[in-house]
A and B are shown apart, each in its own frame.
Chain A
Amino acid sequence: MTPVSTIFEPAVPHAAAGRRRYDAAARWAARLFIYGIPTALILVPMIAFLISSFWRIDGATVDRSFTLENYRTFLSDATYWGIYLGTLRLAGVVALFGLVAGYIVAYLIWRLEGSFRYFMLLCSVIPLAMNYIVKIYAMRNILGFNGILNTMLVWAHILPAPSTLFVFNQTAVLITMTVIYLPFAILPIFLSLERIPASLVEASADLGGPPGYTFRHVVLPLSLPGSIVGGLFVMVLALGDFLTPQMVGGSQGFTFGRAIWSQFGMAFDWPFGAALAVMLLLAIIAILAVAGLLSRYGRLS
């Protein structure tokens, strides 16, 4: 049963029996540590979360007997379904924007040469390190009623007066999420372009394919599956976000993430919140399954 190991085995074969017993104990301690800590810190909480979605709130206490009531409440309430599907669509649109804009930026960087290429790549990744709350805050500054966008549109005579079009609604959430999550799309798209063997692009050029033709028939088909995976990654991030809609969405920008979060805050119905989060998890597992299929297909073709 002992795993084959060149390192954790005793180096001297004829060591004393006591020494060997000590080694066996040390190996078991190492195993317990290596497998135990990630299990305790990550897997056990995940399971606890899944189990708690089958509990029920009874007054101020939690009733820990198995019930499907939380799921029944969700499935029978059209409001929750509406928010659920609406959030899926919102995250899908954010992902689509990320995919299109990210592809254009990543493609242009991919075509560059030398250190300028690396510099531009760095520029597209640095916004990831900028504080998340700060970005939301700045976007509120820009999109607000007295914000930069409105001021500029009025100044340019596109709008007669400041508009409430970009503040405290789904549009504001969409714009802000796109700006925040776009860098997460650029990097995976760039990497999927980078995986295309240079010889294929050269071969296409040698055979007389003009750049546009090479792009349509070689680069795009080879990079698209990986790029879509990048887009789906953005979708997962957008689905789980609850602070962006809270900060720029107002009452019209209610998303499923906010619905979950409010169960842990004001409503204080943790089991129901957990059940809602399980519904979110199901959507995410479906998205990840699609991503997995796409990346396998991308590697085969």
Chain B
Amino acid sequence: MTRAERITIAILWLFAGLVFLLLYGPAVLVVVLSFFDIRRGAVVWNSFSFEHYAALAHNASILSALGNTLLVAGGSVSVAMVLALAIAYYMRTGQRRGRAYIEFVIFLPFVLPAIITGISLLITFRELGVERSLFTVAIGHIVIVISIIYRLVMVRLEALQTSQLEASADLGARGFTTFRLVVLPQLSSAMVTGALLALTISLDETLVTFFLAGGDPTLPLRLWAMMRVGFSPEINALVSIVLLITTIAASIGALLLRRSIPARKA
């Protein structure tokens, strides 16, 4: 490397450092502020404590929003898992004419902005006379996360040797037996990664949820409502906990994902 290149790279790293500061700065700020009191818009720096975290435990509206979020995430991710698995396995076993059509449909909500998915479901539910509730929110989340699980499972299924399926069929195993004894054990890592990713997305999903939520808000909606009133250390504490959990979940997911990708050749 010449000197000019070394300087160029150094300047680029400086810029990248600034970008990372921008990406992480907001989150770090919220965590720091969660330990202090805020009076008349100014931070009281000698008020370090965990009391805002303790106050959360008594905030009924936040706890119920948290419960709603977990219920929706758990339910929608489970259903999406079963659906994605069934569709991917069906498409993999045989020359399915409709594969292009199904993949087009499944990936629509992934490619189009959330506002369009939200409006579509909202209008359909109204035409069907379905009241907005946690159920409609869960349907929205299923629609959003199914493509991610499908993709991960499909990548794993495509890597599977067709001969394994044929051997199983030759030995007299019918569809479901082959699936349970031959395919499923090999899919576990893809499924865990998919479930973690889908959970992260569902816990965070706001733009579609906004259109579909009835009287029971999820945590992001509750946060949004609280922030419109103003800033409070309690929100910062809640947000810090959410950040901590999602960061851990994302890191585990990424590490699992790495294990399923072949290492880069040197």
Contact = CB atoms under 8 A, between A and B. Distances in A.
A247 B220 CA distance: 14
Interface stretch (A46-54, A71-79, A166-174, A219-227): A46-54
Nearest to B142: A41
Contacts of A273: 119
Contact of A49 (B5, B123, B239): B123
Interface in B48-89: 83, 86-87
Interface in B10-29: 12-13, 15-16, 19-20, 22-27, 29
Interface in A139-153: 139-142, 146, 148
A60 interface: no
B174 to A, nearest CB: 6
B23 A183 contact: yes
B20 A123 contact: yes
Give the secondary structure class of B's interface. Answer: helix
A129 B41 contact: no
A233 B136 CA distance: 27
B24 A127 contact: yes
B169 interface: yes
Contacts of A52: 123, 127
Given A45-B121, A48-B120, A130 B106 contact: no
A96 interface: no
B22 to A, nearest CB: 5
A52 B127 CA distance: 10
Interface residues of A, number: 80
A48 B123 contact: yes
B30 interface: yes
Which of B4, B23, B98, B101 has the most C-beta atoms of chain A within 10 angstroms of its own C-beta?
B23
B175 A261 contact: no
A83 interface: no
A8 B105 contact: no
A72 to B, nearest CB: 20
Contacts of B133: none
Nearest to B249: A129
B207 A104 contact: no
Contacts of A90: none
A294 interface: no
B29 A141 contact: yes
What 5 A-B pairs come out closest when comparing CB atoms? Answer: A240-B113, A138-B26, A5-B94, A129-B250, A45-B120
Given A240-B116, A277-B119, 5 more contacts: A7-B169, A11-B173, A35-B101, A42-B105, A129-B247
